[in-house]
Chain A
Amino acid sequence: MNLSKIIKNAFLILLASLVLTACATQKKSTGQLQGDVYTGSDSVEYLASGVPDRVFFATNETVLTTASRETLRKQAAWLRKNSKLNIVLEGHADERGTREYNLAIGERRANSAKDYLMTYGISSNRISVLSYGKERPVDSGSNPLSWSKNRRSVTVKAN
């Protein structure tokens, strides 16, 4: 192996490790994103003091994150206190999917939230589900942060 080849290989290894570090930093939380789930509070409204109205999802995912489950437990406690209230769970998707599939995934996200509320004692006849697919984004940006805010299930008072 001649010198120039060794230098070239060393350079490639250096380059590769730089790329890897870059990837690793991206995967970490960037303040408002964990993985690609939104963790900020930009669009979040409150049903009552300390009870956020929405939970967020990863791309193509409908399972609840740890943070989402915590939010929903707070919602369940608030709903138990306000037993006359009914709610609509509005499921949403980001703009990076086909319209019809997004309607289905919005419905599935809202139902993930519904199922969790039910396990915390909220009767299914107090909850209705409405999917908007990608029709009602809360953030009009075309970037990963905007998309993460739009992948959501929002709990709305029905009466």
Chain B
Amino acid sequence: MLFRYFFILLIIIPIKAIALIEVDITRGNLSPLPVAVSPLSIDDNSKENFKKILKKENLGLEISMIVENNLRQSGLFNPLNKDAFLQKPDIANLKPRFEDWNLIKAQALITGKVTFVDEKLRVEFRLWDVLAGKEMMALAFTTVPSNWRRVGHIITDKVYERLTGEKGYFDTRIIYVSEEGPKTNRIKKLAIMDQDGFNNKFLTLGNELVLTPRFSPTNQMVTYLSYFRNLPRVYLLDIETGMQEVVGDFPGMTFAPRFSPDGKKIIMSFAKDGNSDIYTMDLENRIVERITNHPSIDTSPSYSPDGKHITFNSDRSKYQQIYTMDSNGKNVKRISFGNGIYGTPVWSPRGDLIAFTKLHKGKFYIGVMRTDGTGERLLTENFYQEAPSWSPNGRVLIFYRETKTNSKGEGFSAKLWSIDLTGYNEKMVETKTDASDPSWSSLLSN
């Protein structure tokens, strides 16, 4: 068993005040909100117990660091240096002295308390509006101690949602392909990690080539391409049990899989006799449906969040371009008309945008356009990058980037990068090995 999920009990303590501070999320990180994340207070007895179980000196501090790091990474917040904090964690959580926090220019304050109760981890936290001097939110969680990092992510999601008005994306994971070895013979393994890079695990051993893993919207299943026994086929992997099965066992190559929004179907390409078309398979009754029937290459399909439409790329107009169609294959429309070639369209979870890869004059771009092809916006340019995947709130894109090798063919690397929808906050996502083909999960808890 690779993973085990634990339900987190959410006990909501009534919220007293109306939000007065707001984060402007339309312009990216131009003026990140100064926020103070106080270490969560912890009593000596709880401290000792968690030290024994989790080998963490001060769990209250550790959880606050997760929240702080998440907020900083989002680009929308500026967590202040803890050295400047005047109030002790336990007192701050009871009743902050707002003048003290005002003095260091904090506009929002997060406090909390960690306790060890009946072998469980209990965490409460409060979000304060420093200028108004009011509590904005107070919540408590009880869970198994090993879930402590997730608690930090859930707190961040709650704070993010309260301050921006949008759902967060912190209690999520990234599945990707870990890469090692020379460029001419890469060893590739499926790997999964928390959104912040922690809890990295390998899901395959590297014996066969694996590509393009994608999360199901229901979270426990992943679909990907494996070259097991040199037969490139679409597979399904249950990351909870480790069970794998082939789903695209057609007389030819199946590839480019993705789930339908309800998780019940897989949409993929099937290549035979030099032609690739798009098919779906119902996972329950295994009924296969052909969606496109055209002598050109049709691949990289992605559903709209309501399941009514599909976007894909095709070279039916000679070069790779982006198209949309109804989910039954009718009403095929080309939507990319800019200069260059376009590929890997992915429909935003919000439904209004399609993210894509574009190649123009030897440069690769990640961009977004409206679903009718208007309003194209290029977010980032590089030697090579592709395969954007949306955060579950449709706010951030994760993709991979490869370096140009030198004249001796040395210096190749592949890394994950993320960028805000606004084009701000572009950053590398740290992974232990080289990495490609990222796919973002939906929120593990809601």
Spell out A's residues near B (CB within 8 Å).
60, 62, 95-101, 103-105, 107-108, 110-112, 115, 130-132, 135-143, 146
Contact = CB atoms under 8 A, between A and B. Distances in A.
Contacts of A95: 384, 402
B297 to A, nearest CB: 4
Nearest to A100: B256
Interface string B140-176: 0000000000000000000000000000000000000
Nearest to A111: B274
The 10 A-B residue pairs with the shortest CB-CB distance, nearest first, are: A111-B274, A140-B409, A140-B183, A98-B343, A104-B276, A142-B404, A100-B256, A104-B297, A107-B271, A108-B274
B339 interface: no
Contacts of A143: 407
A99 B386 contact: yes
11 contacts: A62-B274, A95-B402, A99-B436, A100-B344, A107-B271, A107-B276, A108-B271, A135-B186, A136-B184, A141-B409, A142-B405
B271 A104 contact: yes
A131 B232 contact: yes
A97 B359 contact: yes
Nearest to B230: A130
B44 interface: no
A96 B183 contact: no
Contacts of B211: 99, 135
Contact of A104 (B184, B269, B410): B269
A103 B276 CA distance: 10
A126 to B, nearest CB: 16
Most buried by A among B255, B274, B436: B274
Interface in B62-100: none
Contacts of B184: 136-140
B412 interface: yes
Given A60-B319, A107-B274, A112-B274, A96 B384 contact: yes
Most buried by B among A112, A131, A146: A131
Interface residues of B, number: 45
A139 B212 contact: no
Interface string B357-370: 10100000000000
Interface of B: 182-186, 209, 211-212, 225, 230, 232, 252-253, 255-256, 269, 271, 273-276, 297, 299-300, 313, 315, 319-320, 343-344, 357, 359, 383-384, 386-387, 402, 404-405, 407, 409-410, 412, 436-437
B290 to A, nearest CB: 16
Nearest to B402: A95
Contacts of B212: 99-100
A134 B275 CA distance: 18
Contact of A100 (B300, B359, B402, B405): B300
A90 to B, nearest CB: 10
Contacts of B412: 140
Contacts of A103: 225, 232, 253, 255-256, 271, 299
Given A130-B230, A142-B405, A146-B409, A104 B299 contact: yes
A105 B209 CA distance: 18
Most buried by B among A101, A115, A142: A101
Contact of B297 (A101, A138, A140, A141): A101
A136 B253 CA distance: 17
A38 to B, nearest CB: 16
A130 B227 CA distance: 10
A140 B269 CA distance: 28
Contacts of B402: 95
Contacts of A137: 183-184
A150 B269 CA distance: 23
Nearest to A90: B230
Given A108-B274, A111-B273, A101 B409 contact: no
Contacts of A111: 273-274
A45 to B, nearest CB: 15
A97 B342 CA distance: 10
A104 B211 CA distance: 14
B410 to A, nearest CB: 8
Contacts of B299: 100-101, 103-104
B313 A101 contact: yes
Given A95-B384, A107-B271, A140-B412, A100 B255 contact: yes
Nearest to B268: A100
B291 to A, nearest CB: 15
A21 to B, nearest CB: 22
Given A98-B343, A104-B269, A135 B209 contact: yes
Nearest to B301: A100
A104 to B, nearest CB: 4
Most buried by B among A131, A139, A141: A141
Contacts of A140: 182-184, 405, 409-410, 412
A68 B385 CA distance: 31
Contacts of B407: 141, 143
Contact of B274 (A60, A101, A115, A142): A115
Most buried by B among A98, A107, A137: A98
Contacts of A98: 300, 313, 320, 343-344, 357, 386-387
A129 B343 CA distance: 24
A126 B386 CA distance: 37
